[in-house]
Every structure is written in C-alpha cells, then in structure tokens.
Amino acid sequence: MTAWSCRSIVVWGPSTGRARRKQVKVMRKFCDRASLPRKAISLTSAGLLAAELVCLCCAVQARPLVPAEQRYDYYEGALPNCADPQVFERIQSHFNEREAEFWKSGLEIVSFDAPREIGLRSNGLDYIPRRYCIARAYLNNQSSREVSYSIVEDQGIIGFSFGVDWCVSGLDRNYAVAPNCRMARP
C-alpha cells in the first residue's frame, strides 16, 4: 500500500530495500512531471501581468494634455467670480424651488455672505474650466449654512452660459454630494 504526495513521498506497505527505493524514484519523477505545468502556468501569468502593466503605462501617457483653450471646440476660461450676483441668483432660485416643490420644507435662502474661492481649474488644464467656491448662506429660519458651489463654463441651458453646481451643507437629503457636500469641492 502506498500513500504519497508530491511534497513528501511516503511509501507504506510490505516493500523494503531496493523495491522501496524504486517506488520512491518513480514517485519523484511523477512529481517533477506534474510540477512542470504549474511552473509554466505561473510563468505565463507573470508574463501576462508584465504585459498588462506595460499597456497601462502606455495608456496613461497617451492621454492628450492639451489645455481646454487650445482645442478645436475650445473653452475661453472666462468664469464669473465667486461673489457674482448672477451666481448667487441661480443658487438661490434653484434652492428655493427644490425646497418648495420637492421637500416641501418652506426653507429659502435670504442672503449670502463671505464668498471665497477654494480652487480654480483644480482638475487640470485639459478639463472644462471650473471655479470652486464656498460662501455662507442665511436662511429664512434664522440659521446659516455653508454653501459649496462650482461655476462651470458652458454648462448652462444648452451650453449657452456658465452653470452652477451647488450643495448646502446639512441639506443634501438625497446624499448626491455626500458626505457633507464634500464631492462639490475640488
């Protein structure tokens, strides 16, 4: 009776001496032949992994780094300031409309204070120009909240003027830019 594995060959049974050595020799040959496909598979997988890494490196370098102002369908890079009244009007009207129609909370933004820029084209020169800002909004329930907003070129109605993506801290009820309006910032 023989019990064996490729790692440690153990021979049980009545065989002794020369017969036992012959059995062990045969088992070792079998193990060497059985390990060849495993070695080939591991070498093949290592080769494929190396080829994939080379392709990924090439793909990263192939991305065009052309500034948005120099493209065929170019952007001007002209964005309104963070304190522009038109920006505040858009945020205020969209917030008031959303709270009245969807959430039915009755909240309205009354005014804005202390706008400041926290990033300009933070994503890179080859992306759509964006200006990231933060301001303090005063609501009609005598509370104030932080508003994070970005002004994006040509993202208004049918790409005609600038667009504004905004989030009022603590009032992002559907977690669109969660956590706490962090995804609205650079």
Query: For all residues of the chain together, what is the average pLDDT?
Result: 81
CATH of the domain spanning 85-184: 3.10.450
First to last CA, the chain: 71
Residues of the chain with CATH 3.10.450: 85-184
When pLDDT is averaged across residues 79-86 and rounded to a whole number, the result is 96
Confidence band for 146, pLDDT divided at 50, 70 and 90: very high
Q: Is the pLDDT of residue 57 over 70?
A: no
- Which of 185, 67, 180, 184 lies closest to 126, judged by CA? 67
